[in-house]
Chains A and B, each alone.
Chain A
């Protein structure tokens, strides 16, 4: 009974294969709900960008394009290391898996570090919405709205990143006690899909917040 595959098979399933495929459909459905949740914010952003194009371009020109671009590169690299982690899990290379998970976690933390540096800058420049906000030029309420969406959407994204990092730590823990093998590594694939999804969301966030100000 020490076979990890048998230990991981839940009682409601007949086979490991059935369990794996059920987990697959579960995470894809969950990602569908995430698409709809971020989708609501993207719709609202799009509507307001069409009604206030100058204000949104003005807001976007206050973004730090360098830090934003570095963060995009960093996050895409983490998708690569996560993909390699899934691959090494399939091959049963447990030490490589741990190493790649560790690298992914570090890259994720670096992303969050840069993100919070940017947030700090925005607070310093009185660009954070609410009581902190102070904009001298025209369209002040609409520029503030740009920053509302910026903080709301990147904040929600950062929350997802943080949850992702916790999940990766959990995977590392389970890998270190030997839960995964060539035949059973479903959680690695599931968390991997989540991580890639969060990365893809960032690509869109980068495009809608950092790029409109470039050709102002």
Chain B
């Protein structure tokens, strides 16, 4: 008996092979997910460190901590690191990598070696970007607007562009791998309408990444060519058009915003039914709203250029289409709410994060509509209102969902439980700290405080101090999970295969799972995913 138990403990993906090489040469999607988790955590705290310096500088209306030039570099590097080295890879490359094969009942992703390669490409891109940073950084803003980036900036634009260019291929390869896996690797009986919403959202997300990332790559290549060879591509003095750069950049970057939030929606759609003990309300509507967001997301990029000399007809069209994106987003929010309605809700940590996501995403989304309105956008364009808006989506949305997902699947990933009380406390700290940081920024922006300035008029100081105070609380909220999750990895209580009594194939295997996920390839017979009604009866019988 003891031997059997020992054998069971021995054979999981974490301890089957030992040593650093077994990690660096692994093709197991679960281990690669953990490699990514390690990398993006480092980048997250690096980007957070830049944000901290910015917030400290903004305590005073005058430059007291850093010079204006350094401040420019700080917000640029914060943006570059957070967007390309944390947000875009965050949920897909960690949780997606870990979960998609398990959720579709496969042994691994379709192309495991490609998956490992994409991690190395990511690290190479990250290395080149960090090199640019160590040599003195970049000051163009994460948007690389021309002609400043191609002609006037004296910083390491080309190195940073190459770093992002390289990391883009990692994104493309991972997305390609996910799509191929979801199409071809599903277990017998697992039809499209039996897939968890996580898989649907990741599919939509990967489609966007496959189609938009190459455009970013080629745009950055053109920037690098123009800068190195001193030839005209976007430079108006040489016949170029700077607004063309903005079009090409936002053709990538607006869909990229959706690739930051779709994975968050994926996580929340799993957590909400599990902790409300009810099937997801309107499954098909939620599934297709992901696809709708992916498609519509490609048609709205012009709303970034309302004040850049766009024709009034283009502006009207882009404004209208931007409003259209609100429809599938609202479908999701309403369906999550309807799922919670009359459910038996338990307030475990993942659910706290999910509820936080729903509220903050709603605020972020609604203020997005303000920005899509042609008249209002002229007033708040390039102000802190924009900053607050997209941080409500990316930090209040994606980071909350990421933390919620990490807690929800932590028992599966590590085989250990995290300390629930401490985790709830830090979820609360994150929520409070976040709102204190970013809500004052809505007010600041509406009063006219422009973004990207190190100094500001004195009447804004109170709101800036509040924001900085919130940022320090938020920082504590992020460091706490880092500490107790590492602690739990070694000393946590052993987790059961399905501690949340949740549906989904990933909960049908042991925690942590064996190397090829399932002892026997699962066969799916349940008509619907999230069948918590059936599960209730089962549990009552027990």
Which B residues are in CB contact (< 8 Å) with A32? Answer: 210-211
Which B residues are in CB contact (< 8 Å) with A131? Answer: 230
Closest to B206 in A: A29
Known: A11-B516, A12-B106, A25-B184. A55 touches B219 (CB 8 A): no
A40 x B176 contact (CB < 8 A): no
Which A residues are in CB contact (< 8 Å) with B176? Answer: 26, 29-30, 33
The answer to the question of A18 belonging to the interface, with a C-beta cut-off of 8 Å to chain B, is yes
Contact among B111, B238, B240 with A26 in the assembled complex (CB-CB below 8 Å): B111
Known: A44-B233, A148-B231, A148-B233. A12 touches B218 (CB 8 A): no
Closest to A38 in B: B218
A44 x B248 contact (CB < 8 A): yes
Closest to A139 in B: B239
Contact among A12, A47, A129 with B244 in the assembled complex (CB-CB below 8 Å): A47
Q: How far is the CA of A144 from the CA of B110 in the complex (A)?
A: 45
A18 x B214 contact (CB < 8 A): no
Say how far A35's CB is from chain B's closest CB, in angstroms: 8
The 8 A CB mask of B226-256 against A (1 = contact, 0 = none) is: 0001111100011111001000100000000
A37 x B229 contact (CB < 8 A): no
The 8 A CB mask of A131-155 against B (1 = contact, 0 = none) is: 1010000010110110010001000
Which A residues are in CB contact (< 8 Å) with B222? Answer: 40-41, 44, 152
B218 x A37 contact (CB < 8 A): yes
Which A residues are in CB contact (< 8 Å) with B238? Answer: 141-142, 144-145
A144 x B231 contact (CB < 8 A): yes
Known: A12-B106, A37-B214, A37-B218. A145 touches B232 (CB 8 A): yes
Say how far B442's CB is from chain A's closest CB, in angstroms: 35
The 8 A CB mask of B159-195 against A (1 = contact, 0 = none) is: 0000000000000100011011001110000000000
The answer to the question of A36 belonging to the interface, with a C-beta cut-off of 8 Å to chain B, is yes
Q: How far is the CA of A148 from the CA of B231 in the complex (A)?
A: 7
The answer to the question of B212 belonging to the interface, with a C-beta cut-off of 8 Å to chain A, is yes
B229 x A130 contact (CB < 8 A): yes
Which A residues are in CB contact (< 8 Å) with B184? Answer: 18, 21-22, 25
Please give the number of chain B residues whose Cβ is less than 8 angstroms from any Cβ of chain A in the complex: 41
Name which of B183, B213, B229, B239 has the most chain A CB atoms within 10 A of its CB.
B239
Say how far A158's CB is from chain B's closest CB, in angstroms: 15
Which A residues are in CB contact (< 8 Å) with B244? Answer: 44, 47
A145 x B215 contact (CB < 8 A): no
A129 x B229 contact (CB < 8 A): yes
B180 x A39 contact (CB < 8 A): no
Q: How far is the CA of A26 from the CA of B218 in the complex (A)?
A: 21
A12 x B239 contact (CB < 8 A): no
Q: How far is the CA of A26 from the CA of B109 in the complex (A)?
A: 12
Q: How far is the CA of A177 from the CA of B449 in the complex (A)?
A: 69
Q: How far is the CA of A37 from the CA of B231 in the complex (A)?
A: 21
A145 x B239 contact (CB < 8 A): yes
The 8 A CB mask of B202-225 against A (1 = contact, 0 = none) is: 000000001111110111011001
The answer to the question of A207 belonging to the interface, with a C-beta cut-off of 8 Å to chain B, is no
The answer to the question of A51 belonging to the interface, with a C-beta cut-off of 8 Å to chain B, is yes
The answer to the question of A206 belonging to the interface, with a C-beta cut-off of 8 Å to chain B, is no
Q: How far is the CA of A148 from the CA of B232 in the complex (A)?
A: 8
Q: How far is the CA of A121 from the CA of B413 in the complex (A)?
A: 60
Q: How far is the CA of A159 from the CA of B109 in the complex (A)?
A: 29
A43 x B248 contact (CB < 8 A): yes
The answer to the question of B139 belonging to the interface, with a C-beta cut-off of 8 Å to chain A, is no
Which A residues are in CB contact (< 8 Å) with B61? Answer: none
Interface size class of A (residues with CB under 8 A): 35 or more
The answer to the question of A34 belonging to the interface, with a C-beta cut-off of 8 Å to chain B, is yes
Which A residues are in CB contact (< 8 Å) with B185? Answer: 12-13, 18, 22
Closest to B184 in A: A22
Q: How far is the CA of A25 from the CA of B184 in the complex (A)?
A: 9
B217 x A37 contact (CB < 8 A): yes
The answer to the question of B57 belonging to the interface, with a C-beta cut-off of 8 Å to chain A, is no
Q: How far is the CA of A13 from the CA of B219 in the complex (A)?
A: 37
The answer to the question of A157 belonging to the interface, with a C-beta cut-off of 8 Å to chain B, is no
Contact among A29, A40, A47, A130 with B180 in the assembled complex (CB-CB below 8 Å): A29
Closest to B209 in A: A33
Closest to B113 in A: A10
B225 x A148 contact (CB < 8 A): yes
Say how far A130's CB is from chain B's closest CB, in angstroms: 4
Contact among B108, B225, B232 with A141 in the assembled complex (CB-CB below 8 Å): B232
Which B residues are in CB contact (< 8 Å) with A30? Answer: 176
What residues make up the interface of B, taking CB atoms closer than 8 Å to A?
A: 106-112, 172, 176-177, 179-180, 183-185, 210-215, 217-219, 221-222, 225, 229-233, 237-241, 244, 248, 516, 521
Please name the 5 residue pairs, one residue from A and one from B, whose CB atoms are nearest each other, closest first.
A37-B214, A40-B218, A12-B108, A36-B214, A141-B238
Given contacts A11-B108, A44-B222, A141-B237, list 12 more A-B pairs with CB under 8 A.
A12-B106, A12-B109, A14-B521, A36-B212, A37-B214, A129-B231, A130-B230, A133-B231, A142-B232, A145-B240, A148-B225, A148-B232
29 residue pairs bridging A and B, Cβ less than 8 Å apart:
A11-B516, A12-B107, A12-B112, A14-B521, A22-B183, A22-B185, A25-B183, A26-B111, A26-B176, A26-B177, A33-B210, A33-B211, A36-B215, A37-B214, A39-B215, A40-B215, A40-B218, A43-B248, A44-B248, A48-B240, A51-B239, A55-B239, A129-B231, A131-B230, A141-B232, A145-B232, A145-B238, A148-B229, A152-B222
